[in-house]
Structure 1
Amino acid sequence: MNANAETSLSGAESLNATVYADLCVKLITGVLKPAEAVSVRKLAESYGVSTMPVREALRQLASEGALNSAARKAYRVPDLTTKEASDLFFVRGVLEGAAAEIAAQRITAKTLSRLQKSVEKTHRHLEARDASGFLLANYEFHSTIYHCSDNSVLVLSIDRLYVQTGPWLAHGIENLVNADNWLGEHELIIDALRDGDAKTARRLIEEDAFWGCELYRHND
């Protein structure tokens, strides 16, 4: 492969990754809603790109279970049953709990400071009743913890579960509970991690994720 071809391929892969990453954020923060149709053309126009990187990103998300693909290459956010949503939150809790238990033995003062800043962001977004901003700050908090596990399999699996559960978590906090109940026990989680209390960190993280299970079981 010549240098020009390699540069072109690298640029295409970078563009695909950029579109994919932005769509992941849209799913995690509930910008894309359950059962919402996703238009390749409209997305391409909004990103100012051709349809090719958009199609590649959507195809990848569909292969990961974050989108459903239909006839004629149409895509839609899954309209999960309450049982399916609850099951996803349960698995996310189990995996995140394992990652938090590992993280408690590895976390640094710098990372604890990042976690505290994420908590402060969640409070600001809570006061503004900004669900998308809250969910992004919440994801940053949790992601920082499970990345500390230094286990690439756990990280990839949990990341994908956040993308899958995002639209449903957004639906839940916007429509099923009072905004004052959005916050979990994030300060207690930080305390457990700071103390190296792996068991408590795992329990608190699991309880935080299992909140999604109970939310959808209650509203079934």
Structure 2
Amino acid sequence: MTQIADINKIQEERLGHKIYLELKKKLIVGELMPGEGLSIRKVAEEYKVSAMPVREALRQLAIEQALISAAKKAYRVPDLTAGQAADLFFVRSILEGAAAEIATANATKADFKLLEKLIVGMNKYWQAKDAKSFLFTNYQFHSHITSLSSNSALQAMIDGIYLRTGPWLAHGITELVDLDAWKADHSGIVNALRARDAKTVRRLVEEDAYWGVSIYSAIDNT
């Protein structure tokens, strides 16, 4: 392989990772909803790139089960049953709670400040009914707490589950609940972190993620 070919390969890999991150964000904020299809050609046209980096990005998301292969050159967001969605939220609840409990001993004043800033953002976006911005800031909040566990295996599992539940969380808060009535206790989580109350941190984080279990289990049983 020539030096130029090496450079082109590196550039395509970087571009593929960038597209992967963009599509990941779309899944998290509900721009890609359950059952929605993505073709390599259309995604390549959207980002004005060749098919190769798009193919790699979509393939990676399929490996993580955030997408499934629908045809030779197409993928789609899994269209789960309500019961399957509830199961994913249950797993996320347990894993996030465990990570948050571990994280309690590691959180610093800088972490509290960042988390409180994210809460301000979430509250602002919620009042403005800006679901996409709320969902991404919510993801940043939960991901930061998970990262404080310093357990890379746990972080990877949680991020994968979060990616798979993203479209269903978006569907839930935009279509299934009263926005004026729904309220998560994010401030309570930070207060418990500051108090080094690991058990309460775990409980509150589990309850926050368990919301999806409650919503989709109710639908599954109707």
TM > 0.5 fold call: yes
Distance (whole Å) between structure 1 residues aligned to residue 25 and residue 180 of structure 2:
24
Distance (whole Å) between structure 2 residues aligned to residue 5 and residue 53 of structure 1:
15
User: Which stretch of the first structure deviates more once superposed, 41-50 or 192-201?
Assistant: 41-50
Partner of 1:73: 73
Partner of 1:112: 112
2:24 partner letter: C
2:207 partner letter: E
Partner of 2:163: 163
Extract structure 1 runs of 4+ deviating beyond 4 A: none
2:184 partner letter: G
TM-score of the pair, normalised by structure 2: 0.95
Partner of 1:144: 144
Distance (whole Å) between structure 2 residues aligned to residue 11 and residue 55 of structure 1:
14
Q: What per-residue deviation string (whole Å, max 9, x for no partner) do you get for residues 86-127 of structure 1?
A: 010011111101110011000011111110011011111111
1:107 partner letter: A
Partner of 1:172: 172
Distance (whole Å) between structure 1 residues aligned to residue 114 and residue 194 of structure 2:
12
Per-residue deviation, 1:70:
1.9
Partner of 1:93: 93
Percentage identity across paired residues of the two chains: 53
On the 8 A contact 2:90/2:209 being kept in 1, the answer is yes
Show structure 1 runs of 5+ residues with no match: none
1:96 partner letter: E
Alignment of 1:11-26 (within 5 A): 11-26=11-26
Q: What per-residue deviation string (whole Å, max 9, x for no partner) do you get for residues 53-103 of structure 1?
A: 111111111111101102323211110011110010011111101110011
Distance (whole Å) between structure 1 residues aligned to residue 103 and residue 5 of structure 2:
42
Per-residue deviation, 1:182:
4.0
On the 8 A contact 1:27/1:166 being kept in 2, the answer is yes
Distance (whole Å) between structure 1 residues aligned to residue 162 and residue 177 of structure 2:
20
Distance (whole Å) between structure 2 residues aligned to residue 119 and residue 39 of structure 1:
36
On the 8 A contact 2:35/2:77 being kept in 1, the answer is yes
Show structure 2 runs of 5+ residues with no match: none
Distance (whole Å) between structure 1 residues aligned to residue 63 and residue 129 of structure 2:
33
Partner of 1:6: 6
Count of equivalent residues: 220
SS in 2 for 1:219: helix
Distance (whole Å) between structure 2 residues aligned to residue 199 and residue 53 of structure 1:
44
Per-residue deviation, 1:10:
1.9
Distance (whole Å) between structure 2 residues aligned to residue 36 and residue 182 of structure 1:
26
Distance (whole Å) between structure 2 residues aligned to residue 3 and residue 70 of structure 1:
36
2:4 partner letter: N
Answering whether residue 43 of structure 2 is matched by residue 38 of structure 1, we say no
Per-residue deviation, 1:169:
0.5
2:19 partner letter: V
Distance (whole Å) between structure 1 residues aligned to residue 166 and residue 129 of structure 2:
17
